[in-house]
């Protein structure tokens, strides 16, 4: 199984994210698709670096049809959608069928390859978290990824009925003053609800008292703490891993990964090193 990251530019603290992956996955299996010139410290890690321009067969046409229908910044949302075109081109050209796609701010604290072969391969076409997120998603086929791209592209055809649908969804968000709008998570939710593929929400899979729960901003049912104006999962550390107390299970659950969405991104290094220190590693 290959591990794939996509970067649309220079990313702060990405070296630490890659080091967390290297703790569990051989460097030859870690792929970074990027539009930027990587810093020497990233290249020194030995992961496989690929230029995004070499995998633009599908993304090129999408850039011309994209219409911004989100409260998120234009460049951010465009990159989130265009990356799936690059990733699809990458796996097709390299004949890859088993892969894990990680957001650049996901710290890994467990072996994703072992989990994939034990729990996903032969059982599910792809996985997701928290009902719709693909921030850390296992794929056992390129077919559902092709279907995701088909949904995305058909929605942006100017005269399609689906285009009218996303306009109405955006209008509802805007009218209610809600953040967000049309993103890759919207299209992922359509694909999941279509039931065309066997899927698994890994946030519901507590195995060996551990979970692939990937977002510290998702706090329902978990012990929390305040981080500035935000409520986040309250983390503790032991044996090299982060834990959080689950109110549902009445126990500390080991987190196999931590998705450091804002406002946690500045804490990526702290979370990683606290986990390492709990195992006696400095």
Task: Walk across the sheet containing 199-201 and list its strands.
Answer: 48-51, 30-34, 2-7, 99-102, 136-139, 126-128, 199-201
68-81 pLDDT per residue, tens: 777 777 888 888 89
143 C-beta neighbours (distance < 10 Å), count: 14
Q: Are residue 8 and residue 116 in the same domain, yes or no?
A: yes
Mean pLDDT of the chain: 88
pTM for this model (two decimals): 0.90
Q: Are residue 154 and residue 14 in the same domain, yes or no?
A: yes
Residue 77 belongs to a domain with what CATH number? 3.90.550
How far apart are the C-alpha atoms of 252 and 244, rounded to whole Å? 5
Between these two residues, 280 and 137, which has the higher pLDDT value? 137
196-233 pLDDT per residue, tens: 999 999 987 788 889 997 788 889 899 999 988 889 99
Cβ(222)–Cβ(245) below 8 Å: yes
For residue 161, give its domain range: 2-201
Q: Are residue 170 and residue 252 in the same domain, yes or no?
A: no
Q: For the chain, what is the largest distance between any 2 Cα atoms, rounded to a whole number of angstroms?
A: 60
Last residue of a domain, one of 175, 201, 227: 201
DSSP state letters, 244-265: EEETTTTEEEEESEEE--TTSG
Cβ(4)–Cβ(33) below 8 Å: yes
How far apart are the C-alpha atoms of 144 and 122, rounded to whole Å? 14
**In the chain, how many domains are there?**
2
How far apart are the C-alpha atoms of 124 and 122, rounded to whole Å? 6
Q: Are residue 272 and residue 193 in the same domain, yes or no?
A: no
């Amino acid at each position: 199984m290959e591990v794939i990251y996509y970067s649309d530019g220079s990313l702060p603290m990405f070296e630490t994210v890659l080091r967390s992956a290297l703790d569990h996955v051989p460097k030859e299996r870690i792929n970074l698709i990027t539009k930027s010139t990587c810093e020497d410290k990233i290249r020194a890690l030995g992961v496989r670096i690929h230029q995004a321009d070499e995998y633009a067969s599908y993304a090129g046409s999408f850039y011309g049809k994209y219409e911004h229908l989100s409260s998120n910044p234009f460049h951010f949302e465009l990159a989130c959608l265009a990356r799936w075109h690059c990733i699809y081109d990458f796996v097709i050209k390299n004949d890859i069928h088993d892969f894990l796609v990680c957001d650049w701010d996901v710290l890994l604290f467990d072996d994703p390859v072992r989990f994939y072969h034990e729990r996903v391969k032969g059982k599910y076409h792809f996985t997701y978290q928290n009902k719709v997120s693909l921030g850390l998603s296992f794929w056992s086929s390129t077919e559902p990824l092709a279907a995701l791209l088909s949904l995305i592209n058909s929605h942006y055809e100017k005269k399609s009925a689906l285009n009218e649908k996303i306009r109405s969804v955006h209008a509802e968000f805007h009218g209610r003053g809600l953040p967000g709008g049309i993103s890759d998570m919207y299209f992922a939710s359509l694909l999941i609800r279509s039931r065309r593929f066997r899927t698994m929400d890994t946030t519901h899979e507590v195995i060996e008292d551990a979970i692939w729960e990937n977002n510290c901003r998702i706090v329902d049912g978990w012990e929390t703490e305040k981080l500035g104006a935000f409520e986040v999962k309250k983390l503790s550390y032991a044996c090299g891993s982060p834990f959080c107390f689950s109110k549902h299970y009445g126990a500390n659950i080991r987190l196999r990964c931590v998705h450091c969405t804002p406002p946690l991104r500045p804490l990526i290094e702290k979370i990683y090193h606290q986990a390492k220190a709990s195992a006696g590693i400095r």
